[in-house]
Every structure is written in structure tokens, then in C-alpha cells.
């Protein structure tokens, strides 16, 4: 049923009338929040964190070099550069600059934002550089010669689109792009996967696979691993359902695993990570497990899997990474990281701890080079421990390569984990980072609760400087919808059960008050994207629990979300508003439809980006317009650049965070 919406005109992203409205709201917010000394101090201190020379230059190893992308005060748009391991071990590595984005942006008159590069294996000489205008998801693709430090004249080029591109060999690519009407899915992603040869018009690229219009996307890719060269097509049916095909000389052959499972092929092995229980070879494996079998044997009909990981009530699989001879597993035990190494041998798979995770912290395998050796790079941190980047080789001593500086004093600050009881009795974990004497004081609670995203403990100089160092308490809620306890933790709170996400977050807020950690008047909350939707639901459903709310790049109009930008790809999470039975439960929490005149709401700041081409800025615009019409006090800020991250460089990012903290401090400090 169509519902009259008087603010549809605000969905015209760059329309004159809509942008005039944005400028007016921005001016009101900036006048109210940016004129004081505290805002300037917050902005400058956060900028120091973001631009600090002592930050770890994170790298990936490809061949003989370590590659890094770096931004600081002198290089706001950034440098793509590389060095060697021996040089990287030094306090001041010698960097070979491949591409200076600030110089490129100035020379070409474009606001380029780095979006990564796909480098051709194994010689790593040619790259496909992706550049975004203003930080949007849509990119321009340009071929780059790493040895010459220059773009390839008359090389591969794709105009701005949500491109999917990768190497087959030096003269051939797989690509998906906007080929014209009917070539994108309803979600706005490529539905045609093609093979494109150098020197031919892109229009003549050979069709490899065509997805359906209501699929999310289709992608083809080449695995160049020596001795195991294969080509695959990946069909995303919806966010959690996929199909994988091997492209052979005789056509596409399906890798016959459940469509809700994640399947990956590495050398001789097939890994399967089912989301729901799966029976194979007469054995039932639980959802969240990790199974392995020989790939060729599986394709020939074998189903005698080995279970490498089986979840329990407290432990879930977070991710995995291959080295040349080993498989590294990262698990979460009550949201704290644990690392293990598994090794195949004639007697099966041997298992040993890998180590490297701090208490109440996380450890992330940031890179391996499985073509070559058993090296791995691991980054470990906690809420109070700055990052340490270490290099290990399986079976050898771990070497510390870099340590990040501390950006705030931690003496007297403690970290604890608690469990709140949600409405249906489920125990919901949350972490509290609290300075001494902060009882009952200003508290910032954040959460996400969607898409199997896990919020693990990690160090943040921005949170430290802007919040903890000023006496605030910081809380992270591990609510359902995330992946902290495996696929069930997520799937138990989608579609008709989405209300559980919001009940969980409200339970944590109430528990903070019950424990005396804070009071409703001094409890602020903040979240972005799906977390921005969470903030909108808290605003409209539980306003009495909070003293201030910040909702960033949010979804809020859940009646139209599937019609805007990439929204159709998320219907597996929330449901289809065009199906009456599904709109019935979505309507219960859609913030845009549940804000009412005459009800008291806490002060709220909505922030978004004009260049966000993932979550439409119209969500935040329309919510603010409706709340303003109803007489509610509400602030709004829209950055012109930034994409879905809300900021295109460190200057914008520091400004954005200072705005958030100033808003919260001014409402919660009392």
C-alpha cells in the first residue's frame, strides 16, 4: 500500500532544493556545536591521533615487497608505496612511492579517494587501481605499471561504476560493470560477469555468466596458484545465499554445497563453513563448523569431510587464513580472540595454539603469502593496549615489527565484561571501559547488531582521546544480529525476529543503569549504517533510556530502503517491505514511521554523506525533516564527501568525530 511521503524530494541527492535544505541544517548545527574551545580541542587532538607519525604503517606482502597505503597531514589523500622486509624492520623504513594521490588529484582536478588495487600475480608488476570520487563505492579503474610508477598508456580502463574486476593474465581480465540498461541487479551491482581481452572494446567482452535481476551480484575470478590454476564464478543470490561454480573447458560445474554455506578452494583443499546444520556423507555437521575435504575428490562425489572446528555455546569461528602449508583459525570465546594453527599430514590434521591474543582483546591475522611460505602478520590490541604488529613463521619465534604509540593514559582505567538479560532470557555480553571515579558519569554505548559483524575489543586512540581521557565511560554491546557466537547469533534475529536486536541493546542500557555504571540522563549512544538504524529504533522505541543519540549514515525509512541504492541487497536481513506480511513486522520498528508529535525524545544528531552511494542520505534527511516538523530538537550534519565512511580524509574524519563528541559531552556532562 502506497503511503504519502511529503519529504520524497529530499531523496534527490544533488537537487538544488535538497542541497539548500542540507546547507541550512548544516549551518545550524555547526553554529551550535563548533564555536567553543572544547570542539576545537577535540578536533585537534583527534587529528593528532589520525596523522601521528608513530602509527603503524600496515602492510601486505606481495612477492619481494611490502605494500602500504598511508595518509598524514602532508598527504591527506594518501600515498601508495612499498618497501622490503629488511627496510620495514627499521624505525624509519625507506619507502618507494608508487602513486601520490594528492598530486594526482591536483593534476586532474578530481577529489580522488583510494579504493585499493588488484596486483597481478606472480610478478606483481601490473595493477588495477580503483579510485573513487569523494569516497563513493563507485570507482574508476585504471591500469598501473608498478615498476614505472605510472598509469599504463592505453591500458585497461573502466569508467565510474560499481565495478568488479580482477586479473586472469597480463592481457585478460574478468570484469563486471555497468554495460547499460538491464546489466545491473536491482541492488545496483553487476549481474554480468565477462572476460575482457586487452586491445578490444569493453563492449566486445565475452559473457561468462549472467545472474538474475533480483540476485545481488555475479563475479568471476581466476586463481593463479601454480599447479592449481582454476577459474570460478560466484553468484550472490542474496546476502547469505550463494552459488559457486568452477569454470572448466566444458562449461560451468557447480560446487555442490548448501547455498547458505561459505565455500572456498585453496590448492588441493575445499573448505565449507555451513550457516545451518548440514548432513554430508551420512554425518550431520552443525551450523558454524568448518569442514575440509580434497577438492578434486569432492567434485568426483566424495563426502568424507574432516571437521576442523565445531562451535559450542561460548566459542565461534571468526575467520581463517592459509599459509603455504598451514591453516590459521581465529575463534571467539565469549568475544575474546583465540588463534590456532592446523596442519595437514598423512595421519590427518594436527592442531596447536598460535597465541598472540591479549586478555579482553583481539588478534587479527592481517596478511599471509600462501603462494610462497608460512609467514603471517598478526595485529594484536585491546581497549587499553595499543596495536602491536608482529611477524611469525609457523613453528618459529614471533618477531615484533611495529608498536603503535599510546594516545591516552590508561592508569586507573579498567576493563570488565558483563552480561545483560534480554527480554527472552538470552544473556547478552558487553564490555565496559571505565576510568576510576566515573561511576554514574557520562557513558557512551555503541553497538551494531547485523550482518554477522562481530565487535571485538580493540584499541582506539580516537575514543581514548575524545571520550576516556575526559572521564567518560565507554561500552560496547555484543547484541544478536552480529557474529560473536556464530551464525545462529545472527540468524536468530533477522526478519520477523529483528525485534530481538533492539531488545538486546535496550537490555544492556537498562543493565548499565541497574549496575550504577551510569544513569539514563547521562547515557549516550552512537552507531552507523545498520548501527544507525539501531540508534533510530532506540530513539523511537526506548527514548526514556537515553540522554543523547548519534545516528550516522543510517537507514531509517524501512518502507523504501529496498528501493534506494544498494538497499535491495539487504532484504535477507530485514525483509521485503512490498510483501504485506513482512512490512507488518518491519513497520513495528521503522524509525521514520514511528516518530510522533507530542512524544518526548532525547537530543539527537543525525550525520551522513552526500557521496554515500550505499545507504542513501535521504534516510537521515527525511527523518530530520519529519522530526523538525513535529517540533523535536534535532541536529543534522551532511558531509559532501566521504562515501559510506562519512569522511574522505583525516581532516574530515577528525571533524566528524569532534562533532559527535561535542554533541555528546554538551548533553551528558551535566
- Grid coordinates of 124: 606483481
Q: Which residue from 343, 334, 299 is spatially nearest to 314, judged by alpha carbons?
A: 334
Residue 628 falls in the annotated catalytic set: no
- Rounded Cα distance between 165 and 149, Å, is 21
In degrees and rounded to multiples of 5, residue 347 shows phi and psi of: -105, 15
Which string of DSSP letters, residue by residue, matches 32-80?
A: HHSSSHHHHHHHHHHHHHHH-TTS----EEETTEEEEEEEETTEEEEEE
Contacts of 186 (CB under 8 A, 6+ apart): 213, 214, 568
Residue 569 falls in the annotated catalytic set: no
Q: Which residue from 297, 564, 339, 402 is spatially nearest to 68, judged by alpha carbons?
A: 402
- Rounded Cα distance between 104 and 111, Å, is 9
Q: Which residue has the cell 611460505?
A: 373
Give just the sign of the alpha carbon dihedral 61, 64, 65, 66.
positive
Catalytic residue among 273, 616, 632, 644: 644
Secondary structure in 3-state letters for 293-339: EEHHHHHCCCCCCEEEECCCCCEEEEEEEECCCCEEEEEEECCEEEE
- Quote the distance between the C-alpha of residue 214 and its chain's center: 23
Which string of DSSP letters, residue by residue, matches 371-436?
A: TT-SEEEEEEEESSS--EEEEEETTS--EEEEEPPP-S--TTEEEEEEEEE-TTS-EEEEEEEEET
- Grid coordinates of 418: 558483563
Asked if residue 170 lies in contact with residue 118, where contact means CB atoms within 8 angstroms, the answer is no
**How many Cα atoms within 13 Å fall on the side-chain side of residue 596?**
7
Q: Which residue from 370, 365, 322 is spatially nearest to 342, judged by alpha carbons?
A: 322
Q: Which residue from 611, 635, 613 is spatially nearest to 623, judged by alpha carbons?
A: 635
Give just the sign of the alpha carbon dihedral 388, 393, 394, 395.
negative
Catalytic residue among 132, 529, 569, 609: 529
For 511, the 3-state DSSP assignment is helix
Q: Which residue has the cell 609467514?
A: 375
For 203, the 3-state DSSP assignment is helix
In degrees and rounded to multiples of 5, residue 227 shows phi and psi of: 90, -10
Burial-class residue 442 by CB neighbours within 10 Å (0-12, 13-18, 19+).
buried
Long-range contacts, 21-28 (Cβ 8 Å, 24+): 21/621, 21/625, 22/610, 22/621, 22/636, 22/638, 25/624, 25/636, 25/637, 25/638, 26/636, 26/637, 26/638, 28/635, 28/636
Asked if residue 641 lies in contact with residue 648, where contact means CB atoms within 8 angstroms, the answer is yes
Asked if residue 611 lies in contact with residue 135, where contact means CB atoms within 8 angstroms, the answer is yes
Secondary structure in 3-state letters for 444-490: EEECCCCCCCCCCCCCCHHHHHHCHHHCCEEEEECCECECCCCHHHH
Q: Which residue has the cell 599510546?
A: 406
For 563, the 3-state DSSP assignment is helix
Burial-class residue 3 by CB neighbours within 10 Å (0-12, 13-18, 19+).
exposed
- Grid coordinates of 338: 583465540
Active centre residues (catalytic): 529, 644
Amino acid at each position: 500500500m502506497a503511503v504519502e511521503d511529503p519529504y520524497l524530494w529530499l531523496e534527490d541527492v544533488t537537487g538544488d532544493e535538497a542541497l539548500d535544505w542540507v546547507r541550512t541544517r548544516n549551518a545550524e548545527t555547526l553554529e551550535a556545536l563548533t564555536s567553543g574551545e572544547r570542539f576545537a580541542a577535540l578536533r585537534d587532538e583527534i587529528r593528532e591521533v589520525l596523522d601521528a607519525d608513530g602509527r603503524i604503517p600496515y602492510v601486505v606482502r606481495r612477492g619481494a615487497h611490502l605494500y602500504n597505503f598511508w595518509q598524514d597531514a602532508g598527504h591527506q589523500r594518501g600515498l601508495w608505496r612499498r618497501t622490503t622486509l629488511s627496510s620495514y624492520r627499521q624505525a624509519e623504513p625507506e619507502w618507494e612511492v608508487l602513486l601520490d594521490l594528492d598530486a594526482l588529484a591536483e593534476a586532474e582536478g578530481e577529489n580522488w579517494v583510494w579504493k585499493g588495487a588488484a596486483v597481478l600475480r606472480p610478478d606483481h608488476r601490473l595493477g588495477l587501481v580503483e579510485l573513487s570520487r569523494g569516497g563513493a563505492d563507485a570507482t574508476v579503474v585504471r591500469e598501473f605499471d608498478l615498476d614505472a610508477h605510472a598509469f599504463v598508456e592505453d591500458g585497461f580502463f573502466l569508467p565510474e561504476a560499481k565495478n568488479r574486476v580482477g586479473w586472469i593474465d597480463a592481457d585478460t581480465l574478468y570484469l563486471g560493470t555497468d554495460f547499460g540498461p538491464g546489466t545491473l541487479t536491482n541492488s545496483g551491482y553487476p549481474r554480468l560477469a565477462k572476460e575482457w581481452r586487452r586491445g578490444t572494446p569493453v563492449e566486445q567482452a565475452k559473457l561468462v555468466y549472467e545472474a538474475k535481476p533480483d540476485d545481488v551480484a555475479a563475479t568471476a575470478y581466476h586463481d593463479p596458484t601454480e599447479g592449481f590454476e582454476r577459474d570460478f564464478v560466484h553468484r550472490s543470490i542474496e546476502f547469505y545465499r550463494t552459488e559457486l561454480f568452477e569454470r572448466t573447458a566444458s562449461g560451468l560445474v557447480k560446487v555442490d554445497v548448501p547455498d547458505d554455506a561459505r565455500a572456498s578452494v585453496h590448492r588441493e583443499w575445499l573448505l565449507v563453513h555451513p550457516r545451518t546444520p548440514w548432513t554430508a556423507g551420512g554425518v550431520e555437521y552443525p551450523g558454524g563448523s568448518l569442514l575440509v575435504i580434497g577438492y578434486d575428490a569432492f567434485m568426483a562425489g566424495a563426502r568424507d569431510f574432516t571437521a576442523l572446528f565445531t562451535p559450542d555455546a561460548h566459542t565461534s569461528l571468526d575467520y581463517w587464513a592459509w599459509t603455504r602449508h598451514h591453516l590459521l583459525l581465529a575463534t571467539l570465546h565469549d568475544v575474546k580472540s583465540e588463534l590456532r594453527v592446523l596442519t595437514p599430514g598423512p595421519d590427518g590434521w594436527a592442531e596447536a595454539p598460535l597465541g598472540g591474543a591479549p586478555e579482553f582483546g583481539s588478534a587479527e591475522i592481517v596478511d599471509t603469502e600462501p603462494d610462497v611460505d608460512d609467514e603471517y602478520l598478526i595485529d594484536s590490541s585491546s581497549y587499553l593496549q595499543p596495536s602491536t604488529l608482529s611477524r611469525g613463521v609457523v613453528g618459529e619465534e614471533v618477531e615484533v615489527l611495529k608498536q603503535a604509540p599510546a594516545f591516552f593514559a590508561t592508569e586507573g582505567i579498567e576493563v570488565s565484561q558483563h552480561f545483560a538479560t534480554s527480554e527472552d532470557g538470552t544473556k547478552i555480553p558487553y564490555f565496559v571501559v571505565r576510568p576510576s571515579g566515573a561511576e554514574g558519569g557520562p557513558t557512551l554505548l555503541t553497538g551494531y547488531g547485523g550482518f554477522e559483524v562481530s565487535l571485538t575489543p580493540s584499541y582506539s586512540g580516537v575514543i581514548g582521546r575524545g571520550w576516556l581521557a575526559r572521564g567518560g565511560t565507554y561500552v560496547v554491546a555484543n547484541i544478536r544480529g552480529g557474529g560473536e557466537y556464530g551464525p545462529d547469533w545472527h540468524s536468530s534475529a533477522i526478519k520477523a525476529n529483528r525485534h530481538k536486536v533492539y531488545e538486546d541493546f535496550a537490555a544492556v542500557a537498562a543493565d548499565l543503569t541497574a549496575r550504577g555504571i551510569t544513569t539514563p540522563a547521562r547515557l549516550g549512544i552512537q552507531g552507523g549504517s545498520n548501527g544507525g538504524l539501531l540508534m533510530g529504533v532506540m530513539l523511537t522505541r526506548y527514548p526514556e533510556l537515553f540522554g543523547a543519540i548519534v545516528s550516522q549514515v543510517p537507514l531509517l525509512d524501512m518502507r523504501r530502503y529496498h528501493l534506494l541504492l544498494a538497499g535491495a541487497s539487504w532484504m535477507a536481513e530485514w525483509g521485503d517491505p512490498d510483501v504485506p506480511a513482512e512490512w507488518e513486522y518491519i513497520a513495528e520498528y521503522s524509525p521514520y514511521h514511528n516518530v510522533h508529535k507530542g512524544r518526548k525524545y532525547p537530543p539527537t544528531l543525525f550525520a551522513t554523506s552526500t557521496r554515500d552511494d550505499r545507504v542513501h542520505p535521504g534516510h537521515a534527511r527525511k527523518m530530520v525533516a519529519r522530526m523538525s516538523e513535529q517540533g523535536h530538537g534535532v541536529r543534522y550534519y551532511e558531509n559532501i564527501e566521504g562515501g559510506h565512511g562519512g569522511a574522505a580524509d583525516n581532516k574530515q574524519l577528525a571533524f566528524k568525530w569532534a562533532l559527535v563528541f561535542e554533541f555528546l559531552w554538551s548533553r551528558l556532562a551535566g
